[in-house]
Structure 1
Amino acid sequence: MDVRCTSIEEVRTRIDHIDRDLVTLLARRCQWVAQAAAFKKTTDDVRAPARVEQVIAKVRGIAEETGASPEVVERVYRVMIAAFIDEELQVHAGLTGK
């Protein structure tokens, strides 16, 4: 971390900026997830547990490289992926009529 904050307000402001960036990136991820639904034939393809584990392994590695807690990153990603799978299942159902 390159900046030492001098107040809790400054910390909160910096966190608020990160939150805006994160939500913007989540919106972009959501768009890609929606596109992915069109390439999947079944709901099992959407759930893709092997792919989930592949993503978890990848982000744990990124966490280690960047100094983030791999455990926190994994927990966040598991919840996020579950939410995106639910979203993708809805999109997939709309595309397939199921």
Structure 2
Amino acid sequence: MARFRVHRLKSEDQMVVDLRSDFLHDLPTRVAAPLQPIETVSWVIARLTPRFEVGGKNYVMATHRLAALPLSEIGPSIADLSTRADEITAATDFLFQGF
């Protein structure tokens, strides 16, 4: 698994963005934020909830809902958002640092 990749969860119809550093590859979990279909989101804060297109549909990364997930729950990668790494990192910085 690689940072900034989008995965489907095995147990539910949910996509997540892998946020954890690849340096910590021996841990049995990944930290991820869910992707919500944009039409289901009632509010956004641009820096906290960046928008992405995956599979031709628009999603919002719900950074404020990030969680540690066991590797056994994470399916294969379906998209790569590494070209948006700065924006994703800025969202997590905003969550934890407020800037």
Give the TM bin, normalised by the shorter chain: under 0.3
TM norm structure 2: 0.27
TM norm structure 1: 0.28
The structure richer in helix per residue is 1
Larger Rg: 1
The structure richer in strand per residue is 2
